[in-house]
Chains A and B, each alone.
Chain A
Amino acid sequence: MAGVTVSNVSRSFGAHKALDDVSIDFADGGFYALLGPSGSGKTTLLRQIAGFDFPDTGRISIGGESVERVPVEKRRIGMVFQNYALFPNMSVADNVAFGLSVRGEAKTVIATEVQRALDLVQLGKLGGRKPHQLSGGQRQRVALARAIVTKPRVLLLDEPLGALDKALRVDMQIELKRIQREIGITTIFVTHDQEEALTMSDRIGILRDGRLVQEGPPEEIYDRPKSEFAATFLGDANIFRGDATGNGIRLADGTAIAAGVGDRLAAGAKASCAVRPERIRIATDAGTTDSNINTLKGQVSKRIFAGNNSTYFVDRAGQTLKVIVQNTGADLLAEGQDVVLRWSPESTVLIAAG
């Protein structure tokens, strides 16, 4: 086991900057998600850490040892590939045994370790099968067993759940997390699925165009996004744009929005406010007017009922806001109805423009 440190790593392919001065610290035993849209550089970063490709500049260390010029086969990492990459000509047990076998371990040692790894992923009885006789979820488990049986210093996962259907994916998320806890291995997980990143990881790094946009625990990034991109890529957010006023922003139509969270910005600077849809309360009456509460009037343009909650799209001054209301048994609002939206400054994040 070991932590991984990436310092000022850049990598270009021709004129395209795939990674641009990325620094990130993966602490020993943590579960990290690298999250970003396709082309954001997350897979490139994972391949740098794995050693399939070397950085143009910058340093990478695993367990304090500089590895940026060490090829993958000497880095002692475990990797799970997007499409599992199981060896089709070998049985499940031989797949799992491969890493130990190329290392020249004794046959008895290999047999014991392989069985232990297969038991850990709950495939103890399927060692004799060929990969093509397994379901997607089982292949996924074999790939995981194969990656951890060699006791690597770090486990790298490249969108490992992408090929599974929704229900199986949730099962595997729980399973993966359980196994990771059990062996306590530093795990770096590449995904474009924000829900996966939120539910599984201790920390998330959001990448965009080869740069690290924000890094931190999921709840911190969700509650205090530092950019519009982070706010909208991780979860849903209503974005207001205007000029900073000292304690919030003023919209083009003069409406003031108070923000209790986020950067302190000089008055007059271009700025945005982000509000999560579930933080906004929606009502039909004006109610009590509290100057500390952000209040906007609008009209319901669309309602989507989803059982445990409903999503309302509310039009106001040329902008459509999204509001999510838990199903508490109260009557639903009709489309076309005039409504008042309220939310507290503590639910409003001030973000510098740009």
Chain B
Amino acid sequence: MMTTRILEWLGRIYVWLLLAFLYLPIIIMALMSFNASPFYQLPFEWTTDWYASLWQNDQLISATWNSLKIAVITTIICVVLGTTASLALFRYEFRGKKLLQALLFPPIAIPWLITGTAMLIFFFGVGIGRGLFAILLGHVALALPYVIVVVSARLQTFAPELEEAARSLGANQWQVTNRVTLPWIMPGVIAGGLFAFAVSFDQFVVSYFLSTPGQTTLPVEIYAAIRKGFTPEINAVSTIIIVVSMALMLLTARFFKFGGEK
């Protein structure tokens, strides 16, 4: 049929336009990180100089390490706290449970600018001040709800009789959790961890509020560098981050499939 073929073609064009819209700026940036001209001038001339000079840029490197360290620690803390909290919410009935569950969601919706301001004021008030530790605390607070939401969603697909069956076979609480519940929710735990890592590693607003000149994270450092004057080193570091972030997100999609069966 003529009309079906036209529709098919329109569909294909639409998908390509969508992908171009999403990826073209990123691809251009990645290409420019390999272009010799610092002013985006063509013809394209292949170079890895920007990556080499990135390696010499101590400030960017130290900020990258800070970002990685904070993201990893945030992930570990959030996965442990988030998973245990989700299990508690799943297993036990207690006073104020509904309220607690309701209160877990708003932080996801509150603009980071506001959360960041609030944290800055609060941390100054209690004497923590600014710096890497403050940034870590802030990131944990931001990422924890994501882990709880993702792990709880996975727990919704878990049949509570499985824990009862394990107990009837003589398993203690630890064995039940370790051998029956955790294996089932593991895709959710991993996905939650990747979310936590991404929230922390990509975090700019809250980090910006809480960092000090010497102690800062990569996104804040990039922002500062751009303000001083754009260099293709930024393209280079951005390209690295994009590759890492996309790899993480692909892993998330692989493990989580948003509630679907493994």
Contact = CB atoms under 8 A, between A and B. Distances in A.
Contact of B168 (A79, A87, A88): A79
A50 interface: yes
A81 B169 contact: no
B161 A77 contact: no
Contacts of A74: 170
Contacts of A98: 166, 169, 171, 179
Interface string B143-182: 0000000000000000101101111111110010001100
Most buried by B among A52, A74, A98, A103: A98
A20 to B, nearest CB: 24
B29 to A, nearest CB: 43
A172 to B, nearest CB: 19
Given A73-B171, A102-B171, A81 B164 contact: yes
A98 B164 CA distance: 13
Contact of A72 (B168, B179, B183): B168
B164 A83 contact: no
A102 B175 contact: yes
Contact of B172 (A73, A79, A85, A89): A73
Contact of A52 (B164, B169, B179): B164
A276 interface: no
B184 interface: yes
Interface string A124-148: 0000000000000000000000110
Nearest to A97: B169
Contact of A73 (B167, B179, B183): B167
B165 A87 contact: yes
Contacts of A146: 165, 169
A99 interface: yes
Contacts of A78: 168-169
Interface string A70-112: 0111101111011101111100000000110011000000000
Nearest to B175: A102
A79 B165 contact: yes
B170 A150 contact: yes
Contacts of B171: 73, 98-99, 102
A50 B168 contact: yes
B interface SS class: helix
A83 B165 CA distance: 11
Nearest to A143: B165
Contact of B164 (A85, A88, A102): A85
Nearest to B158: A88
A86 B162 CA distance: 7
Contacts of B170: 73-74, 76, 99, 102-103, 150
Interface in B27-71: none
Interface in A2-23: none
B145 to A, nearest CB: 27
Given A73-B168, A77-B168, A83-B159, A88 B179 contact: no
A76 B179 CA distance: 19
B105 to A, nearest CB: 29
A50 B167 CA distance: 10
Nearest to B163: A85
Contact of B162 (A76, A87, A102): A87
Contacts of B169: 73, 78, 98-99, 102, 146-147, 150
A85 B161 contact: yes
Nearest to A82: B161
A76 B184 CA distance: 26
Given A52-B167, A73-B168, A102-B172, 12 more contacts: A72-B164, A73-B170, A78-B169, A81-B161, A81-B164, A81-B165, A83-B159, A83-B161, A88-B162, A98-B166, A102-B179, A103-B170
20 contacts: A72-B168, A73-B167, A73-B168, A73-B170, A77-B168, A79-B164, A81-B161, A83-B161, A85-B165, A86-B165, A87-B162, A87-B180, A88-B184, A98-B169, A99-B169, A99-B170, A102-B171, A102-B172, A103-B170, A146-B165
Interface of B: 159, 161-162, 164-172, 175, 179-180, 183-184
Q: Nearest 9 CB-CB pairs, A to B?
A: A99-B169, A85-B165, A85-B161, A79-B168, A102-B171, A89-B183, A73-B167, A102-B175, A72-B167
